[in-house]
Amino acid sequence: MARTDSERLFAEALTRFPGGVNSPVRAFRPVGGTPPVIVRGNGATVWDADGTAYTDLICAWGAMLLGHARPAVVEAVQRAAADGLHFGANSERELELARIIQSALPSVERLRLVNSGTEAAMSAVRLARAFTGRSLVVKFDGGYHGHADGLLARAGSGLAAAGLPDSVGVTAGAVTDTAVLPYNDADAVTSFFQQRGNDIAAVLVEPVAANMGVVPPGPAFLPALRRLTTAAGALLIFDEVITGFRVGWKGAQGRYGVTPDLTCLGKIIGGGLPVGAYGGRRDLMECVAPLGPMYQAGTMAGNPVVMAAGTATLQAIDGTVDYDRLEGLGAELEAGLLEVASERSRPVQINRVGSLLTVFFTDSSVTDRESAERSDRAQFRAFFHGMLERGILLPPSNLEAWFLSLAHTESDIERVIGAARSALAMAPQAAHVH
Ligand SMILES: *Cc1c(COP(=O)(O)O)cnc(C)c1O
């Protein structure tokens, strides 16, 4: 298919933005080739500058739970914009969004709205250190919590794909108080707590890891984190920037029945506009300025247009009915892909939690970063381009989650499976000797 306008626009972007992009994973580095320049979206479909349509499985990295340009959200944004874009003062629209978030997540007794998931995680960690008077924060290998300096230690797909274990420009000092342990390894966390328990301010975790590809928590993992942190006087922070309002109305904390002290949110709660939030126990949140000594602020925080988009998005979700539907669509996609892979004698592992899914090109199960890295990149690269040629836009890395939305239909799922059937027929097998 012709990609001339996308090629032209991306060529200009290369002269203006580093790598042609404003966020690294958009550059297609792990898969090669030129990313389509997207001009429009509707429902589960996006169109590039050449008029080519794609079934979208990126969905703004999960933010578009309702799909693109849902009329109720567009209208809410238009109404809010007509009232003025921002005031830097309180507005009722902040309350509307907060009421919904707090009704879904009872652990969020108080919250603070910020502009990105990065800010949410950075602030939650600052708060944990402020409250406990301790420095050390435990995160997990492959867990991504935004790009705050102290959290850029073994931080997931964007960095793994770029071949950067860390970022240059982050000082050794900035990460000395960050300890990195293997995901899903409760024993490693237990022995770390035995050694350093009194120094640990918090454990920060994606309760379903989704930035090394999707890696669900084993049954004992989150309960162990809860138990160990409580016993040591440390805090448990769930980074639900992806999982919040995606793996269920009550997030991962509801789905797995483990209650964190602090929760980070983002993506879906902004309905596609820039947002983040952190919140949790009232006694903790009362350390935040102006009530307490932990400083954190934002000129654009609580922006009324963003609040309107987030509120309209969350209001459009029909609780259990919609999460059951996402579960059904996800299950259908998983089953179809497994069948197609088996027809083509292609060993794959599919990890899925509801509408979050990753196909790993490996024959062994994926439970942490190290096993995720076994997913064969060359096979994924060929598969990715085969899918793109057939009008399916996948996240451009073998270590990313695919995202379904409520705008996806059974026929979209069938289209994806059909495309996979022929893309896998074309893609080269890995050079693999058993
Ligand atoms: C996307 C993401 C972030 C960062 O959010 P931004 O809005 O990109 O700053 C943090 N944590 C997790 C789990 C994420 O997936």
Task: Please report the domains of the chain, with CATH numbers, ordered by start residue.
Answer: 4-69+320-426 (3.90.1150.10), 71-315 (3.40.640.10)
What distance in angstroms lies between residue 116's CA and the mean position of ligand 1's atoms? 7
Is 239 one of the annotated active-site residues of the chain?
Answer: yes
Q: Where are the alpha helices (DSSP H) in 197-318?
A: 221-232, 251-256, 282-285, 304-316
What distance in angstroms lies between residue 172's CA and the mean position of ligand 1's atoms? 23
| Residue-wise DSSP of 72-101 | HHHHHHHHHHHT-S--SS--HHHHHHHHHH
Peptide bond into 290 cis (omega under 30): yes
* Atom in ligand 1 nearest the alpha carbon of residue 211: 15
Q: Could you say which of 141, 185, 239, 412 is catalytic? A: 239
Mean local confidence (pLDDT), 201-224: 98
> Do 419 and 338 touch, CB atoms closer than 8 A?
no
User: Which range has the worst mean pLDDT, 19-28, 160-169, 229-238, 404-413?
Assistant: 160-169
pLDDT digits over 366-395, tens only? 999 999 999 999 999 999 999 999 999 999
- To the nearest 10 degrees (0 to 180), the angle between helices 71-82 and 304-316 is 150
Q: Supply the pLDDT for residue 159.
A: 57
Q: Give Cα separations from 263 to 19, 79, 213, 295, 336 (angstroms).
A: 33, 30, 21, 18, 34
Please determine, for residue 160, whether its predicted confidence score (pLDDT) is greater than 60. Answer: no
**Residue 169 to residue 7: CA distance in whole angstroms:** 32
Q: Supply the pLDDT for residue 432.
A: 46
Q: Which two tokens stand for residue 151?
A: 């959290």
- Phi-psi category of residue 88: left, alpha or beta, with phi > 0 → left and psi -120 to 50 → alpha: left
Q: Could you say which of 54, 139, 141, 144 is catalytic? A: 144
Best of 242, 353, 358 for a ligand 1 pocket test (most atoms within 8 Å of beta carbon): 242
* C-beta of 145 in contact with ligand 1 (< 6 A): yes
What distance in angstroms lies between residue 38's CA and the mean position of ligand 1's atoms? 21
Please determine, for residue 9, whether its predicted confidence score (pLDDT) is greater than 60. Answer: yes
What distance in angstroms lies between residue 20's CA and the mean position of ligand 1's atoms? 21
What distance in angstroms lies between residue 121's CA and the mean position of ligand 1's atoms? 8
pLDDT digits over 298-340, tens only? 999 999 999 999 999 999 999 999 999 999 999 999 999 999 9
pLDDT band at 162 (very low <50, low <70, confident <90, very high): very low
Is 54 one of the annotated active-site residues of the chain?
Answer: no
pLDDT digits over 31-86, tens only? 999 999 999 999 999 999 999 999 999 999 999 999 999 999 999 999 999 999 99
Is 144 one of the annotated active-site residues of the chain?
Answer: yes
Mean local confidence (pLDDT), 109-127: 98
Q: Give Cα separations from 343 to 67, 133, 420, 421 (angstroms).
A: 31, 57, 11, 8
Residue with the nearest Cα to atom 15 of ligand 1?
A: 242
Please determine, for residue 164, whether its predicted confidence score (pLDDT) is greater than 60. Answer: no
**Residue 199 to residue 135: CA distance in whole angstroms:** 6
pLDDT digits over 253-306, tens only? 999 999 999 999 999 999 999 999 999 999 999 999 999 999 999 999 999 999
* C-beta of 146 in contact with ligand 1 (< 6 A): yes
Any idea what the Cα angle at residue 277 is, between residues 271 and 280, rounded to 5°?
A: 130
pLDDT band at 157 (very low <50, low <70, confident <90, very high): low
**Residue 208 to residue 244: CA distance in whole angstroms:** 10
* C-beta of 241 in contact with ligand 1 (< 6 A): yes
pLDDT band at 168 (very low <50, low <70, confident <90, very high): confident
What residues does 77 pair with on adjacent strands?
A: none
* C-beta of 117 in contact with ligand 1 (< 6 A): yes
Q: How far is CA 371 from the centre of its chain?
A: 19
> Do 326 and 243 touch, CB atoms closer than 8 A?
no
Type of residue found at 149:
D
* C-beta of 266 in contact with ligand 1 (< 6 A): yes
* Atom in ligand 1 nearest the alpha carbon of residue 240: 13
Q: Supply the pLDDT for residue 166.
A: 66
* Atom in ligand 1 nearest the alpha carbon of residue 267: 7
Q: Could you say which of 267, 278, 323, 412 is catalytic? A: 267
Please determine, for residue 14, whether its predicted confidence score (pLDDT) is greater than 50. Answer: yes
Mean local confidence (pLDDT), 15-30: 96
* C-beta of 3 in contact with ligand 1 (< 6 A): no
Please determine, for residue 429, whether its predicted confidence score (pLDDT) is greater than 80. Answer: no
Q: Supply the pLDDT for residue 434.
A: 37
Best of 241, 242, 246, 263 for a ligand 1 pocket test (most atoms within 8 Å of beta carbon): 241
What distance in angstroms lies between residue 337's CA and the mean position of ligand 1's atoms? 27
